[in-house]
Amino acid sequence: MSSKKQAIFISSLIILWYSSNIGVLLLNKFLLSNYGFRFPIFLTMCHMAACAILSYFSIVFLKIVPLQTIKSKSQFVKIATLSVVFCGSVVGGNISLRYLAVSFNQAVGATTPFFTALFAYLATLKREAWVTYAALVPVVAGVVIASGGEPSFHFFGFVMCISATAARAFKSVVQGILLSSEGEKLNSMNLLLYMSPIAILVLLPAALIMEPNVVDVTLSLGREHKFMWLLLLVNSVMAYSANLSNFLVTKHTSALTLQVLGNAKGAVAVVISILLFKNPVTVVGIGGYMVTVMGVVAYGEAKRRFR
């Protein structure tokens, strides 16, 4: 592939990654807060159903990556454990969107490196350089500042968002430990293929028990709003596209590029959400988010230099 074609290809992947991630986030917010579809567990189950179907199609028929098989009962149990943690993080994030503005949700979500470092230390007892830990101070301080300056702060939504962020970090640490042996390692697309059906089995009874009127309300909304089913379909496909594009961008760019793009993606999502939903923001809130992002950048650079 020529350098020009490669640049166009990578640029297209980044655009797909940004549009999928930001699109699914904004659509989640729209459905859960503005559209009357208040069923975050069922919505997550729709996402997992799309991921299961599209992962199978992409791997088996399109052969985006080679199909990796589960080789033992032990490996299956490990994947199931990751799937449950993954469910918790996604459901928690979706629940938080019912109560929090997307901008504040993203500010809290930016603290993922703090929880990753914490769980990694607790799990392995391996210490990073002190500079690396020092860089996490502004990550946490920024969220504290943003919380104080958030006009629409909601305690339960904040707790769910923090819990989802911690669960996401915990999943990445557990994944590194459980699937560390060469015989059990799975790439992210194969892992999604196996986690998604397990997630559906976990989420279906949870939705029926905790969201008992989900079927009636969904059918009613479908009759009332002709674009309801299309929105739900697009939202679910975007959830898979976000995972696929994240895998492809990771594969075709460097770790540093991915980190920079990830930080910028959060900022872009915040700006677009403020323009779309017109949620009130304060100088203190924006300042807090900027402190957190700068802390994340410093943490990534410290890890790279003192690895």
255: pLDDT confidence band, cut at 50, 70 and 90? low
pLDDT of residue 263 exceeding 60, the answer is: yes
pTM (two decimals): 0.90
CA–CA gap between residue 197 and residue 121 (Å, rounded) = 31
Report the percent of the chain where pLDDT is more than 70.
98
Tell me the average pLDDT of the chain. 91
Residue 274, pLDDT > 70, answer yes
Q: Is the Cβ–Cβ distance between 180 and 186 less than 8 Å?
A: no
256, pLDDT greater than 70: no
Nearest Cα neighbor of 20 from 246, 263, 266, 267 is 246
Amino acid at site 170: F
pLDDT tens-place string over residues 98-123: 999 999 999 999 999 999 999 989 98
Closest listed residue to residue 93, CA positions, set 167, 18, 203, 27? 167
Q: What is the pLDDT of residues 1-49, one digit of tens each?
A: 578 888 899 899 999 999 999 999 999 999 998 888 999 999 999 999 9
Residues 31/37, Cβ–Cβ less than 8 Å? yes
pLDDT classification of 307: cutoffs 50, 70, 90: low
CA nearest to 173, candidates 130, 114, 131: 114
Helix, strand, coil content of the chain in percent (nearest 5): 80, 0, 20
